């Protein structure tokens, strides 16, 4: 009896401390998730009650050329941009890693773009940098190259956004640096005695030992990149243009849901994205057994 009372009391206290989160997870995560799943099978404009239409939204979606564009653009951004960003982050981290004085200072400097990068101000700056009269073009002119309006051309607009993502390599770099610190220095000494070249040292010692960090960065950056919005919205003026070339998935979802008020369709888009990201992450986790090396 006494024990039971104790357990009840502990439950009571535990749930009391948990209650803000619990209310939040129910009202702002779980219920909305189920609601958007239901809405994805309806036609709903917020003014008239939702009308059940089965899988029509999904069928329309797969036929929608603009939706396919947004998926293609986002996939390019994620699967080209993230690896490039991580390669850059790792290269700089390796460069900064051992025996360099002023590491803290350099690390801080390289981190600054990461801190600012998500802001509207930087997106505005980027729009100017790659514009027809922008800084990039004035550099190219002095070097004698041809100039173009990088933002207004459908061939290059997306790449300006990818460059913006790579520019923010600071936070994965910091994580890489933390990982590199864990690699025991004796291993380098041992491989040096064995006469291993720098490249061999990197590919046989460093890289295998930091694969868990690579994996972590890859998962986090991919999930984050799928949700990118601000840069594309500001640089394209909210349109995702030119010719849908910067139409990020989130931007198209925003247009559908909140400017056209096709909330059923937007919900279907959201659920497709959830499954898409889940698949991408699952594939990463499954293949990770092959290439991620965990000590112990």
Do residues 246 and 158 lie in contact, with contact meaning Cβ atoms separated by under 8 Å? Answer: yes
Does the footprint of another protein cover residue 284 (CB under 8 A)? no
Q: How many CB atoms lie within 10 A of CB 9?
A: 10
CB of 53 to another protein, least distance (A): 16
Selected from 61, 158, 273, 292, the binder of another protein by CB under 8 A is 273
Site for another protein in 67-86 (CB under 8 A): none
CB of 121 to another protein, least distance (A): 4
Q: What 8-state DSSP symbol labels residue 260?
A: S
Does the footprint of another protein cover residue 223 (CB under 8 A)? yes
**Matching residue, tokens 């909305």:** 32
Selected from 3, 133, 289, 290, the binder of another protein by CB under 8 A is 133
Does the footprint of another protein cover residue 253 (CB under 8 A)? yes
CB of 199 to another protein, least distance (A): 17
Selected from 43, 60, 114, 147, the binder of another protein by CB under 8 A is 114
Sketch the per residue contact string, 182 through 221, with another protein: x for CB under 8 A, - otherwise: ----------------------------------x---x-
CB of 61 to another protein, least distance (A): 14
In this chain, which stretch among 60-68, 113-121, 239-247, 282-290 interacts with another protein, using CB under 8 A?
113-121
Residues 6+ apart with CB under 8 A from 260: none
Question: From residue 176, how far is each of 181, 211, 214, 246 by CA, in Å?
Answer: 9, 10, 8, 30
User: Which strand (E) or helix (H) includes residue 112?
Assistant: helix 103-116
Query: How far is residue 46's CA from residue 42's CA, in Å, rounded to a whole number?
Result: 12
Positive or negative CA dihedral for 85, 79, 256, 26?
negative
């Amino acid at each position: 009896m006494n024990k039971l009372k104790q357990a009840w009391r502990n439950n009571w206290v535990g749930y009391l401390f948990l209650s803000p989160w619990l209310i939040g997870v129910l009202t702002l995560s779980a219920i909305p998730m189920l609601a958007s799943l239901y809405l994805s099978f309806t036609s709903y404009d917020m003014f008239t009650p939702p009308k059940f239409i089965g899988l029509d939204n999904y069928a329309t979606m797969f036929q929608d050329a603009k939706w396919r564009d947004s998926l293609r653009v986002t996939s390019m951004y994620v699967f080209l941009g993230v690896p490039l960003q991580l390669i850059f982050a790792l290269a700089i981290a390796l460069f900064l890693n051992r025996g360099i004085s002023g590491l803290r200072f350099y690390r801080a400097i390289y981190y600054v773009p990461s801190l600012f990068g998500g802001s509207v101000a930087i997106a505005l700056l980027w729009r100017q940098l790659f514009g027809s009269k922008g800084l990039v073009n004035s550099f190219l002119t002095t070097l004698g190259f041809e100039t173009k309006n990088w933002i207004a051309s459908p061939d290059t607009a997306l790449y300006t956004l990818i460059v913006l993502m790579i520019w923010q390599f600071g936070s994965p770099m910091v994580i890489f640096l933390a990982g590199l610190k864990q690699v025991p220095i004796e291993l380098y000494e041992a491989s040096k005695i064995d006469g291993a070249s720098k490249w061999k040292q990197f590919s046989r010692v460093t890289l295998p030992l930091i694969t868990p960090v690579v994996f972590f960065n890859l998962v986090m950056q991919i999930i984050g990149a799928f949700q990118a919005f601000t840069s594309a919205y500001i640089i394209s003026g909210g349109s995702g243009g030119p010719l849908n070339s910067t139409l990020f998935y989130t931007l198209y979802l925003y247009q559908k849901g909140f400017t056209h008020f096709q909330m059923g369709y937007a919900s279907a888009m959201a659920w497709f994205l959830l499954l898409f990201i889940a698949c991408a992450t699952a594939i990463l986790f499954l293949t990770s057994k092959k290439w991620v090396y965990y000590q112990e």
